[in-house]
Amino acid sequence: MLAGLALAWAGLASVAVAQGSLPQIKQRGELIFATDPTYPPFEYMEKAQMIGFDVDIGNEIAKDLGLKAKWIGLEWAGVLGSLESGKCDLAMAGITITAERKGKGYVFSRPYLLSGQEIVRRKGDTRINGPKDLVNKIVAVQQETTGQFAVAKLGVPKDHMLRFDQVQDGLMDVRNKRSDATVGDLPTLKAILQKGFPELELVGEPFVKETLGIVAWKNNPELVGLVNRSLNQMMVDGRYAVAYKKWFGEPLTAKIVGELENRKSDGSPVPDVPIAAMKELPQPKVTGSSFSFRWEVAGAAIPQLIKGAELTLALTLLSLLIGTPTGLIFALMRISPVKPLNWIATVYVEIVRGTPLLMQIYVIYFVLPAVGVELSSFVAGVLALSLNAAAYISEIFRAGIESIDSGQMEAARSLGMDYRVAMVNVILPQTVRRVLPPLTNEAVALLKDSSLVSVVALAELMRMGKEIATNGGSPTTVYLTVAVFYLAMTLPLTWLVRRLEAKWQPISRPRDGARRLKRVAA
């Protein structure tokens, strides 16, 4: 059996490595691009359609290769990793060419656009007039981008950098006055600011100049050669100039073309390498696949994952401590004969259960400041998780209370107890034993749902894993390690509950209700 699993594992690995090979692509008839469609003007969604400069250029590349372009929208953290896992053939998401990325197995095309890192501040904030002014300020950045790296090189401390999944989140944080400034690619910042954010403005010129490239995995340099030939042809026949003017609002000048043509990822001129010559280039040696587990990567990731796990546990425990009693209160309100209490609890539960947790987090963190409610990332995360958990826990308690035989309450009242005493001493103790399994499930679900608070710049376990996996060269290793961490946190909880269930089993028989009534009455 183990041998069969090993063979299956090896087979899957070979499929992943071969999936993006040129013969496979031609046989499929599709050129698959991975991107993050939240990055205008490069790629974004409009009327359920992905559009942008990158999309137009990518579609033209596919057409030149006699293929159909297929675009897959992912979170930024998964774009580069999708190359290694074989989910796509090329990554095109306004990706800057860097030596670090090239050293981890990503192969870049020739530069297809000049860009740069720009600063955005609130209008009238004269404290920030250039990159040197960011050192002692709170700066919002998109995680694992060259914007984050540029801010780090300026000497901004890590605890002064708020890392978000999207550029828009950083701009909103500046507008809400939590961050002093944000840094990102100039074209994207200009495009977003033009659509909104009248309170913000650009500061000077880009303080870091960059070149963008199209990315393939290291086992496919021949595909990169075809991409380069297509890009060169577009520069000659005018298709590139048309797309440039369409998405950047200005004509493609000879100066821009000259600078772009004379820049390569290492600074040397870009040759027009023919496909025949590309085939003669030595193929890079593939040292592993997306399905292989690399112990050295896991070992390096563990210290950071431990920090993320600590935050995950803190979020979960605090949310349970707040959400459980809150849920019980709402459960008692829902079964209360007082109509206003019943109505309030019902509306709360239905609203929370009928909307996504992610949206609730966004509302609490990003929308409430508009009405004067300012919450830190940690407080907003705990509050959102607690309120969400309380709605589900209230239904668990309500179902548990209503499952208790009505004769229990009648017998308690006949012994002279009022409603409150009977509920506290007779009904709720039996309810807790019955609802313990579903409460455990809710606790486990809450622990996993805590990963969603990463959208408000909290580096919990899953967020930490995404940050490591983005450019780590082995996302599977990191995500499997993250899965082990989650199991290590959830399994003790389920074991504890099973022990409690076994311990309480002898007093769960029907006659024990009568015994409790006698003890309470005495």
In three state form, how does the secondary structure of 154-167 look? CCCCHHHEEEECCH
What is the rounded CA–CA span in Å between residue 62 and residue 229?
Answer: 12
Report the pLDDT value the prediction gives residue 6, as an integer from 0 to 100. 36
C-alpha closest to that of 330 among 305, 352, 297: 352
Closest CA to 92 of 47, 148, 53: 53
Task: Decide if 206 contacts 101 (C-beta within 8 A).
Answer: no
Burial 88-117 (b: 16+ CB within 10 A, else e): bbbbbbbbbbbeebbeebbbbbbbbbbbbb
> What one-character DSSP code corresponds to residue 96?
B
Q: Rounded mean pLDDT of 169-184?
A: 89
Report the chain's mean pLDDT, rounded to a whole number.
80
Confidence band (pLDDT; 50, 70, 90) for 268? very low
Mean pLDDT in residue range 348-366: 90
pLDDT of residue 285: 35
Mean pLDDT of 515-522: 53
The distance of Cα 154 from the centroid of its chain, to the nearest Å, equals 26
Quick: pLDDT tens for 463-473: 778 667 644 55
Residue 330 falls in which region: left (phi positive, over 0), alpha (psi -120 to 50) or beta: alpha
Q: Following CA atoms 227, 230, 232, 235 in sequence, which dihedral angle do they give, to the nearest 10 degrees?
A: -130
**What value does the mean pLDDT take over residues 107-114?**
90
Band (pLDDT 50/70/90 cuts) for residue 98 is: confident
Cα separation, 443 vs 439, in Å, equals: 6
Asked if 221 contacts 284 with a C-beta cutoff of 8 angstroms, the reply is yes
Question: What integer is the mean pLDDT of 248-254?
Answer: 81
CA distance 372 to 363: 13
| pTM of the complete model | 0.62
Which residues have C-beta within 8 Å of that of residue 438, sequence separation ≥ 6?
Answer: 396
The 8-class DSSP code of residue 338 comes to: -
What is the predicted pLDDT for the residue at 346? 92
Position 517 scores a pLDDT of 52
- pLDDT tens, residue by residue, 299-312: 888 888 998 899 99
* Token pair for 463: 């967020």
- Give the residue-averaged pLDDT of 434-455: 86
What 3-state class would DSSP assign to 373?
Answer: coil
If you write DSSP's letter for every residue of 18-86 in order, what string do you get? HTTSHHHHHHHTEEEEEE-SEETTTEEEETTEEESHHHHHHHHHHHHTT-EEEEEE--HHHHTHHHHTT
Percent of the chain whose predicted confidence (pLDDT) is above 70: 83
pLDDT for residue 214: 95
Q: How confident is the model at residue 85 (pLDDT cuts 50, 70, 90)?
A: low
Average pLDDT over residues 248-277: 58
Q: Which domains does the chain have, with CATH numbers?
A: 2-109+213-280 (3.40.190.10), 114-211 (3.40.190.10), 295-521 (1.10.3720.10)
User: Please, are residues 432 and 438 in contact by the beta-carbon 8 Å criterion?
Assistant: no
pLDDT digits 0-9 by tens, 17-40: 334 578 888 888 999 998 888 888
Long-range contacts at 475-478 (CB < 8 A, ≥ 24 apart): 475/78, 475/81, 475/84, 475/85, 475/290, 476/84, 476/85, 476/290, 476/291, 476/292, 476/293, 477/292, 477/293, 477/294, 477/297, 477/298, 477/301, 478/297, 478/298, 478/301
Instruction: Answer whether residue 368 shows pLDDT above 80.
Output: yes
